[in-house]
Amino acid sequence: MTASYETISTRLDGNVLSATFNAPPINLIGPEVVRDLVGLIEELSRPGTARVVVFDSADPDFFFPHVDLTKVAEYTAEAAKAGGPGDDSLGMLFRRFSEIPAVTIAKLRGRARGAGSEFLLACDMRFASRENAVLSQPEVGIGTPPGAGAIQHLTRLLGRGRALEAVLTSADFDADLAERYGWINRAVPDAELDAFVAGIAARIGDFPRDALIAAKASVNAISLPTPAAVRADAALFQQLVRSETAQQRTAELFERGFQTRGRTELDLGDALGDLKAVD
């Protein structure tokens, strides 16, 4: 690895790259994070890079809580740099990420909500701390459906009923329930998580690169959503996130401390349930 990033620190150990997100104060997905992801995806798409990449967060409370809703236009513009005309969305950026010729593993501690959960879903595998992981798709509670892959991935992974439960309730899921539903591969005791993920990454990293890439491509051909489906979800999100209802509900959340380190972000599922009912 030759590049340096503002919000991602990397360390290469043999065939395994560790990539740690650090975007204070709470790891919101904003233009800086998206710019770094675009650069990292480009680097990992070149021949001869790491066979396995393990993603985690420097913040024990927040992996990625969600996008920065004050900077939608800015992070969208950064995402557009990774695709062609019309692909100015996190959904298409994450889909490209799913196709890189490396095995991607997410190691989850803290909260991964909204596009944070969608980033994890774009990874090849997800392992979470049993005591310290939370997943959620809060978009419907705010006023828009998810737009960066959650509907596509969760429906395939969870089945129709459970995907609708996850998306329509906008509730927080702990690691045990997420594992039972299929949102993550496994919930692992926190004290064992680092060694567990390191063992899987090292094992995979020792296998032949061509076999890893071929197997991943074959699974992707069966399981990844089409670009048209991803673009449709992104367009609907972009439309409704600007609606009067979403703007009003977002404003109420900001009055309660949204996008700051406090109870609203820590317990966002509860906060969404406490918002004023919509007629």
What tens digit of pLDDT does each residue of 120-149 get? 999 999 999 999 999 999 999 999 999 999
What percentage of the chain reaches a pLDDT higher than 70? 97
Least confident of 11-20, 48-57, 92-101, 269-278: 269-278
Measured CA distances, 9 to 20, 23, 108, 153, 172 (Å)? 5, 11, 16, 27, 28
Number of CB atoms found within 10 A of residue 218's CB: 10
β-bridge pairing 173-174 and 186-188:
unpaired
Q: What is the pLDDT of residues 153-186, one digit of tens each?
A: 999 999 999 999 999 999 999 999 999 999 999 9
The Cα–Cα gap between 121 and 49 comes to: 22
Take residue 189 and report the two structure tokens written for it.
């005791």
Give the predicted TM-score (pTM) of the model: 0.95
- Whether 76 shows a pLDDT value over 90: the answer reads no
Inter-axis angle of helices 72-80 and 90-98, to 10 degrees? 40
Q: What is the pLDDT of residues 38-64, one digit of tens each?
A: 999 999 998 888 999 999 999 999 999
Q: 118 or 279: whose pLDDT is higher?
A: 118
- Whether 85 shows a pLDDT value over 90: the answer reads no
Bridge partner residues of 54 (DSSP): 18, 105
